[in-house]
Structure 1
Amino acid sequence: MLFRKRKKIEGEKKDIPEGLFLKCEKCGELFYKNQLEKNLWVCPKCGFHFRVGVDFYKKILFDDGDFIEHFAADLESQDPLDFPGYKEKLDRAKAKTGLKEAAVSGLARINGREVVFFLTDFRFLGGSMGSVYGEIFYRAAQEAIKRNIPFISLTSSGGGARM
């Protein structure tokens, strides 16, 4: 007979650990997460660049483990105008990224040379600029001027300015 009902395959279904595979947003190919990490978050098939956070940039830009986040590590975004839902958005962004704000700054070394860095993370509310973001940038720039060392700013924002 040409059309037979196929036998149901019996067996134990195994769950795949969360985050083991990632799908390319451009070509749809599935990759092991560690394969993409080794390829610096660029799809080996189509060349699509995955979104990365500040930890990735710290790892590839600065001498091994040689960065100290400060200048504004004590500052945290607030909701002084009490916008509806904004505090919850901030809390979700903080939980998702482990950051207090879209921007981080500090001291690091690149090839042995001391620099001040300013990095932003798109995963924190689209890397948008709030008042704390501006203060972090200002303090980092002032520190670079005071120390007479290079100031490196790498922004990955697309969110504009926050209300």
Structure 2
Amino acid sequence: MSWLDKVRNSLSSLAKSDTPDTLWMKCPSCGEMLFAKDFEANLSVCTKCEHHGRIGAKTRFDQLLDAGYTVLAAPKVPENPLNFRDTKKYPDRLKAARAANPYPDALTNALGTIEGAKAVLGVQDFKFMGGSMGMAVGEAFVAGVNTAIAENCAYVICTAAGGARMQEGILSLMQMPKTTVATRRLAAAGLPYIVVLTDPTTGGVTASYAMLGDVQIAEPGALIGFAGQRVIQDTIREKLPDGFQRAEYLHAHGMVDMVVHRKDLKGTLAMLLGYLARKEVA
């Protein structure tokens, strides 16, 4: 066999996952070409500009929880209560989203420990229909709170959402007061509620449980707001400041307590849980 045949055989045996299209990626912030494995090893943070990429629920669980955590079952809810259809039927959109994601809806809870401190961790996945808040998200949030109360531990949630889920109309908006009441139940039980705001957290999620934490943490550069920047600018007819609705701007103006790099997030949560954990009365 000639050397050329050997090269051809080697090239033909390459798996699709090893092709140049998947070996490299472009940072959406600085445009740097990054080796995909290096990007993942760096917690999906750009090695040049430290842009924090969006990550899924499974990755977030693995990054923040100690080994041995348990993913909680998703609550059952009516799947198409309004018989909604746009260019596609709502059940078809759900089916497509579930085929592309490991969990059945945008918010998933897991019970475990963060550097030894017990906690229920909820994670919203923006890849699932933009992390939109529907009945399933509301029920999952309440279920996470109930589990935290039953386990006498904190509830920590990583938010990422484009807002309420339009396919569920008013029923999606009803999740705002529902989840707000759930946070009050945590407070009444004397248990910590910590929010980690990730990119992006907007709309009805921001207007409810995302801004009600005992401690508000944000990842660097995260977009956090209610209405879009263009809508606000057109309404008030003024140019908005640089960095408006970004984590650092909100921190400087008292809307969030701290901006924490992803590599420091687990340790920061563990420290806060140690401070906020309810002490048993002797």
TM range, smaller chain: 0.7 to 0.9
Quick check: 2:132–2:162 contact (8 Å CA) kept in 1?
yes
Partner amino acid for 1:95?
A
Structure 1, unaligned stretches of length 5 or more? 1-11
Q: TM-score, normalised by structure 2?
A: 0.49
Q: Distance in 2 between matches of 1:56 and 1:82?
A: 33
Q: How far has the Cα of 1:76 moved from its partner?
A: 6.2
Paired residue for 2:128, among 124, 127, 132? 124
CA distance in 1, matches of 2:78, 2:38: 35
Structure 2 match to 1:53:
56
4+ aligned runs moved over 4 Å, structure 1: none
1:21 paired residue number: 24
Q: Structure 1: how far apart are the matches of 2:78 and 2:55?
A: 22
Tell me which amino acid in the other structure corresponds to 1:26: S
2:34 corresponds to? 31
What TM-score comes out, normalization by structure 1 length? Answer: 0.81
Name the residue aligned to 1:4. none
Match of 1:101 in 2: 105
Which stretch shifts more, 80-89 or 54-63? 80-89
More helix by share: 2
Greater RCO, CA 8 A, separation 6+: 1
In the other structure, the counterpart of 1:6 is none
* Residues 22 and 31 in structure 1, CA contact (< 8 A), matched pair in contact too: yes
Which one-letter code corresponds to 1:161 in the other structure?
A: R
User: Is the CA contact (8 Å cut-off) linking 1:77 and 1:90 kept in structure 2?
Assistant: no
Identity of paired residues, percent?
A: 34
Aligned to 2:82: 81
Alpha-carbon spacing, 1:77–1:67, altered in 2? closer, same or farther (3 Å): farther
Q: Give the match for residue 137 of structure 2.
A: 133
Aligned length: 150
The alpha-carbon deviation at position 80 of structure 1 amounts to 2.3
Show the counterpart of 1:112.
Answer: 116
1:148 aligns with 2:152: yes
